[in-house]
A and B are shown apart, each in its own frame.
Chain A
């Protein structure tokens, strides 16, 4: 049984079909990539899976066999589904440690304060955020460090599956390389990853399976090398020639 099953989900804003009858499965332990041009419905798809800020108009979302569509965002998070946003989204007025602690305490449902603190520290260590940074306000961090903090907060929740929305956006090339290493490390830790990115090189280096969306619909899916060779994908990205890798 797949860890995440998406069955015929749709979301419309007025006459615009942002996500149109999309179905796919993500197996436990894999890194599943989702590509597509801007406005293809990638982030909307993440929104309707997580229920934040809205669920699907139609269709089913199952996590570990349990239907989650229609549940509140915080209830879905507690079932083991975590997400990061394209834009660095942290609690700017809280310290780095408090950001991770709140993930461990509420998302990870850890009752004991000492255990939650230990889990928060472990998550920050795992991502590579030094102890000297624990007391800094999240709002004072660089873009890259805030993206790392988002990952640490998500890891502190011990999720079954982590949805990453364009983790490489606004990063320098060395930072992108570090991010690739971090995502591999998280996956090796047993957390299933669904990754949105419109930079195909980033996705190709990480994904075991790749799905391309265009105009809210699935354009192609399968093994990454085959998907990017699909003429429909080439046309969606470039109009006429093969994506430059």
Chain B
């Protein structure tokens, strides 16, 4: 019971964080067709903003929406400054990799300058620990495991049950046709980036309540999210969600049986194998779709 419970909770926890990160990456890829390498720093900056708000005495229920909204705004601004001017260029995918990497480096160093190198931590969502199936689990982890599916369902409802969601799904499929039916494609690109940044910020706040934060804390989750979207397929939303939990369980099992040392190598083996066998991803359709 101990091993399976540990793998189950470890997988659900890691899978939740990866799902939040990977969905944002997939949302940006599906709508704009670019890979955002500053997604990891969105996570880190969201966590640092939350820490700052907590530090000035704001309660966590206020801090959460404040940091998330602030990051949505920052995501919008980043899109407007380093992605939007490049839309329409034939080499946009490569150029945006470079511009978002450059932006990530600038933000990372800015955070280091502003908040310093000392590790920080955000208060957990819920205090205390509990034991389930013989495994000690923090209430913070349980809260994240429960909240993440709620957020993902809310995102699904937004995409499938609202006017804006319909517009985002349309622009993800056909830019010219979207313009023809009167959609403001530029604004929708900004919205996709803003939602992605907000989700990354939430993942950062969740992680910052569990581990110590540092300006490079987004690098590893970005790498894992990259593995997730390659494994699940980046051209949909549901594919990366399934993949996030599968990769989470795989990582938890690997950590348990092979140790932390071998896990990254095994994850990259999964990545390489996926690229060789099914490069479009395991759970993907032939066309881009926010489904």
Contact = CB atoms under 8 A, between A and B. Distances in A.
Interface of A: 50-53, 72-74, 77-78, 82-83, 85, 89-94, 98, 101-103, 105-109, 113, 139, 153-154, 157
A106 B181 CA distance: 6
A242 B95 CA distance: 53
21 contacts: A52-B176, A74-B181, A77-B179, A77-B181, A85-B177, A89-B174, A89-B176, A89-B180, A91-B169, A93-B288, A93-B289, A102-B166, A102-B167, A103-B181, A105-B166, A105-B167, A106-B181, A107-B180, A107-B181, A109-B182, A153-B181
Contacts of B291: 93
B181 A157 contact: yes
B287 interface: yes
Contacts of B287: 92-93, 139
A72 B185 CA distance: 10
B173 interface: yes
Interface in B160-188: 163, 166-167, 169-170, 172-174, 176-186
A52 B173 contact: no
Given A52-B180, A90-B177, A93-B173, A74 B166 contact: no
Nearest to A107: B182
Nearest to B174: A91
A237 to B, nearest CB: 29
Contacts of A90: 174, 177
Nearest to B171: A91
A157 B172 CA distance: 20
Nearest to A138: B173
Contacts of A85: 176-177
Contacts of B166: 94, 98, 101-102, 105
Contacts of B285: 93
Nearest to B186: A72
A32 to B, nearest CB: 19
Contacts of B163: 105, 113
Contacts of A73: 176, 179-180
A89 B173 contact: no
A119 to B, nearest CB: 13
Given A89-B177, A90-B174, A102-B183, 19 more contacts: A52-B180, A72-B179, A72-B184, A74-B179, A74-B182, A74-B185, A77-B181, A83-B180, A85-B177, A89-B180, A91-B177, A93-B288, A94-B166, A98-B166, A101-B166, A102-B167, A106-B183, A107-B181, A153-B181
A89 B177 CA distance: 7
Contacts of B186: 72
A162 to B, nearest CB: 11
A157 B182 contact: yes
Contacts of B172: 93
Given A105-B163, A113-B163, A91 B170 contact: yes
Nearest to A156: B181
Nearest to A110: B163
B106 to A, nearest CB: 30
Interface string B47-63: 00000000000000000
- Residue in B166, B169, B172 whose Cβ sees the most chain A Cβ within 10 Å: B166
Given A93-B289, A94-B169, A101-B166, A74 B177 contact: no
